Amino acid sequence: MKDQEAISNGDKNPAVDFFSIWSKTNINIFNNAIESHEKWKSQLIVHVKEGMKGEIDEVSSSHVCELGQWIDGEGSRFAYLPSFQMLREAHEGFHGTAAEIMTYSNAGDKPKATALLKEGGKYAQSSIELIKALLACSKELADFVVKGIRIRYKISDILRAKLKQDIVSIDGGATIFDAIKLMLEHNVGSVAVYKDNAFLGVCTERGCLESMVYKGIDTLQVPVVNALDTETICVHPDDSVEQCMVLMSSTRKRHLPVEHDGKLIGIVSIGDIITKLAQYG
């Protein structure tokens, strides 16, 4: 509570110390965590596919990796923040799911291990929750930085700079062909998919191709909901552009839906970010 009180009371020195810790340590730790924890899936897939034996204790422990050490050590000074508790729980849940997969794999039970790793499965959900917690915690920490010092660019800056402000959308009952046609007509790489006014997710050019290659869809006349990214991660307008770029790179997603108060307010593409950064340096 000491750090919280010092900052809220306007004590300049603690605030500067806080900013130093935040800028030099926390951002790197959070960005590294997004990248490193995304790599776990490919490593687990190899273990399961090749029947390799893994150390359960190393996988199950949420205290060994860099993020876990930060949570238990230097980061514990922020334990009063709600997002910190959410991050701790999400991180523990992620490692628990990874350990569950490793346990099945070590026992030679490939079907159960594979089921946990499937698209939209338990592992994907725990990974999404961890990334959401990382973004939320980094944003809440940034809110305590002294007035006048802020993250250089936020997603809201990218949305304001977009030449096309309207969200191109389509009904979930429309076909994949309709979605592709709509993207071509509007010269965009993604469309928002709705059903009964509820946002279901984003359909992208790549998603359409992947649905045909990996899901066995052999026609463009099936509903577009079959081409949705089931592991879509929505970001917030106040999320930093830097972290969203790390997120895009780590998850190989070129489009991120932006939500505020539970409502979709835009879709940011890697092209939008590059255009903004190239324009303003």
Domains delineated in the chain = 2-142 (1.20.120.30), 155-280 (3.10.580.10)
For residue 12, how far is the Cα from the chain centroid? 33
The pairing of beta strand 169-171 with beta strand 263-269: unpaired
Q: Distance between CA atoms of 254 and 247, rounded to whole angstroms?
A: 10
Task: Band the pLDDT of 120: cuts 50, 70, 90.
Answer: confident
239 or 31: which leads in pLDDT: 239
144 or 168: which leads in pLDDT: 168
Q: In the chain, where does DSSP find H-type helix?
A: 2-8, 12-21, 27-50, 56-60, 66-72, 82-106, 110-117, 122-142, 155-161, 176-186, 205-214, 241-251, 270-280
Q: Per-residue pLDDT averaged across 60-87, rounded? A: 89
For residue 254, how far is the Cα from the chain centroid? 12
- Cα dihedral sign for 25, 29, 32, 34? negative
What was the pLDDT predicted at 86?
94
Least-confidence region, from 33-37, 45-49, 193-197: 33-37
Q: Across the chain, what does the average pLDDT equal?
A: 82
Q: Is the pLDDT of residue 146 over 50?
A: no
Q: Per-residue pLDDT averaged across 144-155, rounded? A: 57
Q: Is the pLDDT of residue 114 over 90?
A: yes
What pTM value is reported for the model? Answer: 0.73
Q: Per-residue pLDDT averaged across 219-244, rounded? A: 86
